[in-house]
């Protein structure tokens, strides 16, 4: 499951978007800050943070954002043999990563400095905290 969060306050590194990727079964997340929410950037993040790190998933679920319905993104998934499903336009709640996005945004809010420009600097610690905490749906940590 993948989704974009933003635009967020521009960080010192120029990031304004957060790309959230979550494993459906374990609830493990990968977080990638992006300067621009483009198909090229999301495609690169899926390749580097998911496929090259954890292996090729059978299925990837996204909303109908142009980043995910573009030829760049869909062709790359097809090349990798990943089935792509999109959630209904009228039902964003069908993408469970939306709940994760709310949790991640809350965590970011607790870790930022006063001007909110360091949100991307805290992502490794935030991702670690999320992935090592017991998930309410599974009763286990995603890192289990």
CB atoms within 10 A of CB 9: 13
Q: Do the domain assignments include residue 143? A: no
Q: Do the domain assignments include residue 142? A: no
User: What is the domain range of residue 114?
Assistant: 2-122
Average pLDDT over residues 29-55: 97
Q: Do the domain assignments include residue 6? A: yes
Q: Do the domain assignments include residue 15? A: yes
State how far the alpha carbon of 46 is from the alpha carbons of 24, 56, 68, in Å.
Answer: 15, 10, 11
Looking up tokens 């957060």, which residue turns up? 18
Average pLDDT over residues 26-31: 96
Q: What is the C-alpha R_g of the chain? A: 15
Q: How many domains are there within the chain? A: 1
CB atoms within 10 A of CB 33: 19
Task: Write the pLDDT tens digit of every residue in 86-114.
Answer: 998 776 666 778 889 999 999 999 888 78
Q: Do the domain assignments include residue 130? A: no
pTM tops 0.85, yes or no? yes
Polymer length of the chain:
144
Q: Does 67 or 97 have the greater pLDDT score?
A: 67
CATH of the domain at 66: 3.30.420.10
The confidence score (pLDDT) of residue 113 equals 76
Q: Do the domain assignments include residue 32? A: yes
Q: Do the domain assignments include residue 135? A: no
């Amino acid at each position: 499951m993948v989704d974009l969060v933003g635009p967020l306050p521009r960080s010192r590194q120029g990031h304004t978007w957060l790309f959230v990727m979550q494993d459906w079964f374990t609830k493990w997340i990968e977080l990638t800050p992006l300067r621009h929410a483009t198909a090229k950037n999301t495609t690169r993040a899926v390749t580097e943070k998911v496929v090259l790190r954890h292996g090729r998933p059978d299925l990837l679920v996204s909303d109908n954002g142009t980043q995910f319905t573009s030829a760049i993104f869909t062709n790359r998934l097809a090349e990798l043999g990943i089935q792509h499903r999109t959630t209904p336009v009228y039902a964003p709640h069908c993408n469970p990563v939306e709940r994760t996005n709310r949790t991640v945004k809350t965590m970011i809010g607790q870790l930022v400095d006063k001007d909110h420009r360091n949100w991307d600097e805290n992502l490794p610690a935030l991702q670690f905290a999320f992935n090592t905490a017991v998930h309410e749906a599974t009763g286990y940590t995603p890192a289990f």
